[in-house]
Amino acid sequence: MEPRANFRSFADRMEAEKSEHTALFFESLNGKWDFLFLEAPEYSPEDFYKTSCSTDKWDKIEVPGNWQRQGYGDMHYSDLWYNFPIIPPFVPTANPTGIYRRTFNLDTVQEDQQYILRFQGVDSAFEVYLNDQFVGYSKGARIQSEFDLSDLLTTGTNTLTVRVFQWSDGTYLEDQDMWWLSGIFRDVDLFTRPKEGLYDFTIQTLLNKNFTSATLIVNPVFTELADQKIVYELLDKDGNKVVEEEKNGRESLVKTITEPHKWSAESPYLYQLLMTVKKDGKVVEVINQKVGFRQIEVQGNCFLVNGVAIKLKGVNRHDYSPTTGRVTTKESIEKDIVLMKQHNINAIRTAHYPNSPYFYDLCDEYGMYVIDETDLECHGFELTEDYKWLSDNPEWEEAHVNRIKRTIQRDKNHPSIIMWSLGNESSFGYNFRKMAEYAKKTDPTRLVHYEGDFEVEVSDVYSTMYTWLEREDDKLTMDKVITNTKKPHILCEYGHAMGNGPGNLKEYQDLFYQHDHIQGGFIWEWFDHGIESVSEEGEVYYQYGGDFGDDPNNGNFCIDGMLLPDRTPSTSLIEYKKVIEPIETKVIDSVSGFYQLTNRLDFNTLADYQLICQFYEDDRLIEERNETIPETLARKSSTIRICYPEVVFKSGALYTVRFVYQLKNTAAWAQKGFEVTRSVFVWHKEKPLAETNKTNTSEIKVREQQAFVTVEGDQFSFRFDKVKGKLLEAYYNKEKVIEKGPEMNFWRAPIDNDMYLLEDYKNKYFMHLPHESVREVQCETKENTFEMRVSAYYGTTNSAWYYDLDYKYVIDSSGQISFSIDGIASGRKLLAPPMLPRLGVSLQIAKDFDTVSWRGLGPLENYSDSRQAAYLGVFTNSVDDLFVNYVKPQENGNHMECDWVGLTKENNALLVKTNNTFDYSVSRYEAIDLEKAKHTIDLKKRDYVVLNIDTCQNGLGSNSCGQDQLDKYRCKFEDFSLQFTIALEEIAQKNIAEIAREN
């Protein structure tokens, strides 16, 4: 059938308003189907489509479903490659094929009704047979296909057969970055529409220059014109009639609405349009369509929604489930959108194909700007040295244009869609010009998007991917885009959320805010595409490319989302939520309590939010109060003054104020009181008292041997290796507390965003192979204090660059260790790497010290270029819970700006303190464990806790696909200094924060 909008017919107005089917026939054909899986279509039984063909030996399969997730065929993930030779339009003889069959019953077949069989998604091509007859054939795996069954149906039992081919010539246009999955994976419906009813309709809304009135245009389409009348009723949210008018079926409705409520992602106001089709005074059908009044246009180098150059705070979203593959439900899609709204996201690019119709209904309802992307990608042709092979070949024009046509015709009535995207990563040429031509002629009310249109020949926006903020070569950077673009700019992909990362999100967002024509972007991407699996021990983990013997594959490149496969928000999603927060708070004068609030919304005031101010002394809540948010228009700032509580400041304590912004009223996506963002500031930090005399002192005894030295007191014992200049172990009250003392370390388990650094890291700089050359060790005891000084060089295999190190250990009569390390960057410094993974020391602590408290940035992991969601405070968590369970294990769990960290066991705490600040992380795994593990089930816990204390750690960047670490966030080969003390403290009477404030 000709493509058309997705809608339903109802028997009367009451049923239309309820959107429930009663009188008209509608049946979902989802469920169990008979299934025969074959290596190629030529192996099909000759009578496979006939009712006489026995299915007794066939299997059962779930529809919707991907057959690879139900035990048929092979799982395969690739980002780039086709799984067969590129000889378009030909595909391999080995072409896995699934034959689906089911029956359904009809009590009657009504002559005045058209019976439609609708498929929302079948990968990649399929044939339909009904009652021994061929019905039709369709390509376009993720686009709606409808078939007219009216002439082939019978009363009683009807037999439906669908033969699905994994590969077709359409596959050449469907090389998206995702798992190759096949079969009927979206809903299948059988329903009727009156033959004299509406076949299709197009709704447009045009706003005047002042946006004070709007013109509603409805263009109806009938297949059988027979003097039908259409009664149009436009109802507001409260059911009040705004419009009521009857028109001849041949005419369009053109109606002016004064002062309409406008639709935007911030205020997704929807009207109901009831269209009652009548013939000879009788109701033929009633259609209920939601309408949103909004206008999209380009002025100068900005695109506007309702007159405002909006900022897209978006994500790219695939259909995905860790268990069912590409099968999603309305409920799962709604969960996605609710979660996005809760994280301040306002836009979605449907990468890289149209989604289920549910998706657009929900985006209309909840408020999401949508770039609706055509099911088209030819990425593998990039490797043929003829990227334009298909895109510039007129023989493939219809194949290209048909896809954008079906996308637009199905989705055209959704206000959430602001752009039609022609596809993704398919070069550019004749066929894209024709696609754009069709889009602009068919729907001039929306913009055309295509990132592959590098010269912006047909695109209404200049779209780029992963454009860097800074780089040393001459390639495109954001400053060049800002200066040179004549059209609005968006980043259709940036911030590659693979593993631990991305970094630099704030820098991008700052640019978006600084320039009207730089209008935001879409993080790649929403969901990790891990496949849920269970180990022999019953532990759930997630597989990725290569785990199924698939070759070639792109490994864990599909694990690149802000949601972990179990739907847990990753740190990157929490960070993004903060970066795109609706209310930005900055200090004007913290002493007197003046702060600036900036409304980062495009339309709304801050009237929907309430402000709770919480005042903390370290981890103790002193006071909490509601504050009045000043009236602040969209994109404007205001000033607020906060009165601090009257408190007696305690020595060494940190006093912070938390601005917690919550929903004032319940919204569609969250309850009243939901936290949309928070900002935390230090309003006072009291100096610690001078050190007091300690009571738990004892006489130090030192026993030296040829290679070792032991330092003892009544309650402690330390053993050093004088050859290596290292603390070997530490006992308190005869219990081993430190398994191994501080050792210099500049290696971290590689994160995914380090992937392009590893070749140099390992094979040029050998940074994973450090060596220490101890030059001198001096031990001295005086005034009941032991001191050991160590001089050493620290470098890597075959390196001529190195650190000249000075260590110092001081043990006093209470058993406290003062440790310092000073490093001078030395040797052939020009040969050193531009970045070090980290710079600090690593210790091993007894495994029972399994609770961690710290004063610094928390509560989640944070890094120099990913720390906006973190804030200063005192936090407590377990060692196990601080581990971030990335699908592919890697460096995780860092916390910056700490002045103390304590590991506790029962009533004892091993307290590490500094007069400056350090980064810390704890783990039950060494870096080598994380580096070698492919999956979380490969990790085996050590018999100790690894404690890393760093003076710096390299930023995260986004260089698995995008910007590497910005210069200011790089851990460089430079001089450094790190000092801290280690002491065992009893915490039975005081909490660890109180003890940490002492001395």
Other C-beta atoms closer than 10 Å to the C-beta of 48 total 19
Residue 21: per-residue pLDDT:
56
Q: What local confidence, expressed as pLDDT, does residue 848 receive?
A: 97
- Which single residue is written with the structure tokens 């495994």? 847
Query: Tell me, what's the pLDDT at 20?
Result: 63
> What is the per-residue pLDDT for 19?
72
Q: Give the burial class of 740: count Cβ atoms within 10 A of its Cβ; 0-12 exposed, 13-18 middle, 19 or more buried.
A: middle
User: Across the chain, how many H-helices and E-strands are there?
Assistant: 12, 56
Of the candidates 747, 952, 761, 762, the one whose C-alpha atom is nearest the C-alpha of residue 865 is 952
Report pLDDT for 591. Answer: 95
What is the average per-residue pLDDT within 367-384?
98
pLDDT digits (tens, 9 = 90+) for 255-298: 999 999 999 999 999 999 999 999 999 999 999 999 999 999 99
Average pLDDT in the chain: 96
Strand spans (E) along 483-565: 489-494, 518-523, 531-534, 540-543
How many other CB atoms are there within 10 angstroms of residue 686's CB atom? Answer: 15
Given a cut of 90, whether residue 688 has pLDDT beyond it is no
Q: Which residues have C-beta within 8 Å of that of residue 442, sequence separation ≥ 6?
A: 405, 408, 409, 412
Q: Span 611-630, mean pLDDT?
A: 97
User: What average pLDDT does range 323-345 have in this prediction?
Assistant: 97
* pLDDT for residue 519 is more than 60: yes
CA distance 698 to 387: 78
Residue 23: pLDDT band (50, 70, 90) is: low
Residues in the chain: 999
511: helix, strand or coil: helix
Nearest to 345 by CA among 309, 313, 377: 313
Residue 22, pLDDT above cutoff 60 = no
What pLDDT score does 14 carry? 86
Going by pLDDT thresholds of 50, 70 and 90, the confidence category of residue 693 is low
Instruction: Categorize the per-residue pLDDT at 990 as very low, low, confident or very high, splitting at 50, 70 and 90.
Output: confident
* 923-945 confidence digits (pLDDT tens): 999 999 999 999 999 999 999 99
- The per-residue pLDDT for range 641-682, each reduced to its tens digit, is 999 999 999 999 999 999 999 999 999 999 999 999 999 999
pLDDT of residue 560: 97
- pLDDT per position as a tens digit, 885-917: 999 999 999 999 999 999 999 989 999 999 999
Looking at residue 999, what is its pLDDT? 66
3-state secondary structure of 471: coil
The answer to whether residue 231 scores a pLDDT higher than 60 is yes
Q: What percent of the chain has pLDDT over 70?
A: 99
Distance from CA of residue 660 to its chain's centroid?
Answer: 24
User: Where does 526-653 show beta strands of DSSP type E?
Assistant: 531-534, 540-543, 583-589, 594-599, 609-617, 620-627, 637-641
pLDDT in the model for residue 24? 82
Task: Write out pLDDT tens, residues 127-162.
Answer: 999 999 999 999 999 999 999 999 999 999 999 999
- d(CA 226, CA 245) in angstroms, rounded, equals 19
Q: Give bridge partners of residue 780 from the DSSP assignment.
A: 787
252-264 pLDDT, tens digit each: 999 999 999 999 9
Q: Which residues fall within 8 angstroms of residue 56, CB to CB, at 6 or more apart?
A: none
Q: List active site positions.
A: 425, 493
0.85 exceeded by pTM: yes
pLDDT value for 692: 58
Distance CA 339, CA 569 (A): 9
Gap between the Cα atoms of 731 and 736, Å rounded: 4
Encode pLDDT of 738-768 as tens digits: 999 999 999 999 999 999 999 999 999 999 9
Q: Closest by alpha carbon to 338, among 608, 507, 569, 677?
A: 569
* pLDDT band of 17, cuts 50, 70, 90: confident
pLDDT of 691? 63
Handedness of CA 401, 404, 407, 408 (dihedral sign): negative
| pLDDT tens by residue, 781-831 | 999 999 999 999 999 999 999 999 999 999 999 999 999 999 999 999 999
Q: What is the CA 989 to chain-centroid distance, rounded?
A: 44
Higher pLDDT, 986 or 47: 47
HSE of 901 in the Cβ direction (CA atoms, 13 Å)?
Answer: 29
